[in-house]
């Protein structure tokens, strides 16, 4: 039976006694509204550990003032049923007041890798992410924490935080789970209407196109960016937030493709901001 815990104190007590009894804990941090991508993270957690903990918390501090915190999709009942079906042991679903009682004065800020991509279009976003993830690590005391490559920069930032702060936690990245037609699964896909859903395919299509161009020998970043931009904008309802081609480790801009590059996209489709990415090894 899965146990649902709402308070930090109970969670810490449960996780401490599990650790003391020799169990290995995997944590899957989420904002809920589960799709198959989330469930895949839980499956990997099951494979790698004895105990799977899933947190469900729509974290207000990682949303900007004009972003979708209020309207972010939520369905706790259905999420808990899905997690239970995946043999999750503990679900941690705190309230905002439980996580942020109001007298907190501490934030975690990772420097360089947050200065690119979503860090530019969403100021403060990654401080919110790293702070809540560090809190969740201290609450669930995991040996392993599992994140999706869909949020590639987030994974990079969390790896950096864990390394820099000597967190004794293995960070595991899981490849992006996609709909059969290639759209990266995301809770935000539920915002899309029928026409927008078609246009949303332009993200994955343009990543395929970028990869083809690289394979054909194109090495000029601006040419790939132009081609990607044209493909996306040929779909109605799309507006580009960024198209970035950068070093897959440092996330620093490149002019010429070399070694392992990240093609990262953030595109508004109607009012919905979608992201996707592809890592391409330059042969």
Stretch that binds ligand AMP, among 12-20, 46-54, 176-184, 196-204 (CB under 6 A): 176-184
14, 86, 122, 150: residue in contact with ligand AMP (rule CB under 6 A): 150
Task: Count other C-beta atoms under 10 Å from residue 261's C-beta.
Answer: 23
Bridge partners (DSSP) of residue 136 are none
Asked if 135 interacts with ligand AMP (CB under 6 A), we say no
Asked if 153 interacts with ligand AMP (CB under 6 A), we say no
Please name which of 149, 146, 189, 139 lies closest in space to residue 9, comparing C-alpha atoms: 139
Please name which of 90, 98, 88 lies closest in space to residue 135, comparing C-alpha atoms: 98
Strand duo 260-269 + 272-281: pairing: antiparallel
55, 186, 204, 277: residue in contact with ligand AMP (rule CB under 6 A): 186
Q: Contact at 8 Å (CB) between 145 and 172?
A: yes
Asked if 41 interacts with ligand AMP (CB under 6 A), we say yes
Asked if 191 interacts with ligand AMP (CB under 6 A), we say no
Asked if 116 interacts with ligand AMP (CB under 6 A), we say no
Maximum C-alpha span of the chain: 57
Asked if 37 interacts with ligand AMP (CB under 6 A), we say yes
The answer to whether residue 38 is catalytic is yes
Stretch that binds ligand AMP, among 144-152, 206-214, 238-246, 264-272 (CB under 6 A): 144-152
Can you tell me which residue has the tokens 């800020």? 109
Q: Give the single-character DSSP code of 71.
A: T
Q: In the complex, what is the shortest distance from the CB of residue 147 to ligand AMP, in angstroms, rounded to a whole number?
A: 4
Residues with a catalytic annotation lie at 38
């Amino acid at each position: 039976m899965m146990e649902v815990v709402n308070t930090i104190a109970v969670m810490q007590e449960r996780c401490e006694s599990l650790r003391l009894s020799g169990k290995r804990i995997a944590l899957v941090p989420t904002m809920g509204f589960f799709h198959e991508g989330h469930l895949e993270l839980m499956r990997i957690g099951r494979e790698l550990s004895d105990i799977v903990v899933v947190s469900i918390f729509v974290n207000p501090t990682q949303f900007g003032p004009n972003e979708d915190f209020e309207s972010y999709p939520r369905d706790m009942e259905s999420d808990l049923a899905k997690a239970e079906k995946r043999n999750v042991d503990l679900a941690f679903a705190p309230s905002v007041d439980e996580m942020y009682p109001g007298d907190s004065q501490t934030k975690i800020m990772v420097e360089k890798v947050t200065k690119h991509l979503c860090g530019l279009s969403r100021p403060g976003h990654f401080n919110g992410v790293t702070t809540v993830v560090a809190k969740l690590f201290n609450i669930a005391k995991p040996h392993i924490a599992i994140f999706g490559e869909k949020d590639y920069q987030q994974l990079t930032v969390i790896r950096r935080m864990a390394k820099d702060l000597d967190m004794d936690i293995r960070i595991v990245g899981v490849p992006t789970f996609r709909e059969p037609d290639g759209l990266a699964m995301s809770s935000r896909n539920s915002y899309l209407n029928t026409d927008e859903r078609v246009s949303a395919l332009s993200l994955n299509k343009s990543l395929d196109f970028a990869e083809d161009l690289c394979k054909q020998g194109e090495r000029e970043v601006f040419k790939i960016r132009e081609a990607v931009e044209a493909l996306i904008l040929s779909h109605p309802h799309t507006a580009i937030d960024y198209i970035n081609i950068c070093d897959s480790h440092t996330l620093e801009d490149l002019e010429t493709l070399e070694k392992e590059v990240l093609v990262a996209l953030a595109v508004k489709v109607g009012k919905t901001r979608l992201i996707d990415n592809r890592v391409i090894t330059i042969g």
